[in-house]
């Protein structure tokens, strides 16, 4: 199949998720039947890396606890890293959240930050490495049994979960639910509804107020999710385009591509950490807003 490889197929191969869902013929992961699956389909690759990296986060931090249990011993290695991240999160929560007492915010922020950072870091793994590896493994294990696996290339496999809008919007959705929950429990349902309907034009313009406030309210999680997705998707795209320079061009352009790859990877480290931080900071900020009783 390598002879059929074109620029277009290479790019689309890298931008398509491994999707499994229910078709009229039953459950399948056949990429040519994705259109029949409708809403109830899952991006198996995104969820695999998302859950795997989340589990890695839990595993590493749990491991640090077992070493951590004695306060009289000076921390070292992994434990230092873990405590540094916790201190970092605590500082941010302190500065954005101030005096509000809520034990969930800091663990939430920590989870979101470390998890997104890990998912973003997958972008730094060479673009072809894991997809090709996964394709070969799948072909070797299930090549004969599953009819739609015709070769190592027929398996789509996206490695960076945060380049999948489902993942980023899914997390933003979880935070949106928490925002609503705390808005109602802290402010009370009446105050929450009043906040959505009585501003900015007073009680005689309730429908207009509601529309305006709803836009404002819903824009927060959507922008939160799409910001992360957009940044990482663009970054991934550039990696793919640079990789194309290596495969489909002459040697000088290939060498240039190699240099560009290095430069972009270095620059991308900044984006990776920055986007994880922004997502965390906005999560804290939105939840802090949910706790503010009188904001106008």
Partner 1 sequence: MNINATLIAQAVVMIVFVAICWRYIYPPILSVMKEREKRITDGLEAAKKADDSLEEAKLAFDKELNQAKAEAAEILDKANARASQIVTDASSKAEAEAEKILTSASTTIENETNKAKEELRQQMSDIIIDTTQKILGDEISKEKHEEILKKAAEEL
Using CB under 8 A, list all residues that contact partner 1. Answer: 15-17, 19, 21, 34, 37-43, 46-47, 50-51, 54, 57-58, 61-62, 64-65, 68-72, 75, 82-83, 86-87, 90, 103-104, 106-108, 110-112, 115, 164-167, 169-171, 173-174, 177
Residue nearer to partner 1 on the CB measure, 61 or 139: 61
Residue pair 109/284 in contact (Cβ under 8 Å)? The answer is yes
Find the shortest distance in angstroms from Cβ 76 to partner 1: 13
C-alpha of 214 from chain center: 25
Find the shortest distance in angstroms from Cβ 174 to partner 1: 4
User: Catalytic annotation on 3?
Assistant: no
In total, the chain counts a number of residues equal to 296
Residue pair 210/196 in contact (Cβ under 8 Å)? The answer is yes
Q: Which of 50, 166, 183, 231 is catalytic?
A: 231
Residue nearer to partner 1 on the CB measure, 122 or 261: 122
DSSP string, 233-261: HHHHHHHHHHHHHHHHS-HHHHHHHHHHH
* Cα four-point dihedral sign 163, 13, 157, 21: positive
CA distance 253 to 259: 10
Find the shortest distance in angstroms from Cβ 216 to partner 1: 22
Find the shortest distance in angstroms from Cβ 175 to partner 1: 8
CA–CA distances in Å: residue 261 to residues 3, 170, 237, 255: 25, 30, 12, 10
| Residue 173 token pair | 């959705």
Residue nearer to partner 1 on the CB measure, 71 or 270: 71
Find the shortest distance in angstroms from Cβ 112 to partner 1: 8
CA–CA distances in Å: residue 65 to residues 69, 129, 174: 6, 33, 27
Closest alpha carbon to 96 in 224, 291, 292, 284: 284
Residue nearer to partner 1 on the CB measure, 75 or 143: 75
User: Catalytic annotation on 92?
Assistant: no
Residue nearer to partner 1 on the CB measure, 139 or 176: 176
Residue nearer to partner 1 on the CB measure, 104 or 255: 104
Find the shortest distance in angstroms from Cβ 170 to partner 1: 3
Secondary structure of residue 18 in the 3-state scheme = coil
Secondary structure of residue 290 in the 3-state scheme = helix
User: Catalytic annotation on 68?
Assistant: no
| Residue 188 token pair | 């009370």
Q: Which of 9, 80, 223, 249 is catalytic?
A: 223
Contacts of 278 (CB under 8 A, 6+ apart): 227, 228
Residue pair 232/258 in contact (Cβ under 8 Å)? The answer is no
Closest alpha carbon to 161 in 173, 176, 171: 171
Q: Which of 209, 227, 249, 250 is catalytic?
A: 227
Residues labelled as active-site residues: 223, 227, 231
């Amino acid at each position: 199949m390598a002879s059929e490889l074109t620029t277009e197929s290479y790019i689309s191969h890298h931008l398509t998720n491994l999707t499994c869902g229910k078709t009229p013929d039953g459950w399948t992961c056949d990429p040519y039947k994705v259109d029949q699956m409708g809403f109830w389909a899952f991006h198996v690759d995104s969820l695999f890396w998302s859950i795997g990296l989340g589990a890695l986060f839990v595993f590493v931090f749990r491991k640090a606890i077992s070493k951590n249990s004695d306060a009289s011993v000076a921390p070292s290695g992994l434990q230092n890293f873990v405590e540094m991240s916790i201190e970092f999160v605590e500082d941010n929560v302190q500065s954005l959240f101030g005096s509000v007492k809520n034990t969930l915010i800091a663990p939430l922020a920590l989870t979101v930050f470390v998890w997104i950072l890990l998912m973003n870091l997958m972008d730094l793994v060479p673009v072809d490495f894991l997809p090709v590896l996964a394709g070969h493994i799948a072909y070797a294990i299930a090549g004969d049994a599953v009819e739609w696996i015709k070769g190592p290339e027929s398996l789509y496999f996206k490695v960076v979960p945060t380049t999948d809008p489902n993942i980023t919007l899914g997390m933003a959705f979880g935070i949106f639910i928490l925002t609503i929950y705390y808005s109602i429990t802290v402010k009370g349902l009446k105050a929450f509804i009043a906040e959505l309907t009585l501003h900015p034009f007073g009680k005689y313009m309730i429908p207009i107020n509601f529309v305006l406030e709803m836009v404002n309210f819903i824009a927060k999680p959507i922008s939160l999710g799409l910001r992360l997705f957009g940044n990482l998707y663009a970054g991934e795209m550039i990696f793919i385009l640079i990789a194309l320079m290596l495969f489909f061009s002459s040697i000088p352009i290939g060498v240039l591509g190699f240099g560009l790859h290095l430069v972009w990877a270095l620059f991308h480290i900044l984006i990776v950490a920055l986007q994880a931080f922004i997502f965390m900071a906005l999560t804290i900020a939105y939840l802090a807003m949910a706790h503010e009783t009188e904001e106008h």
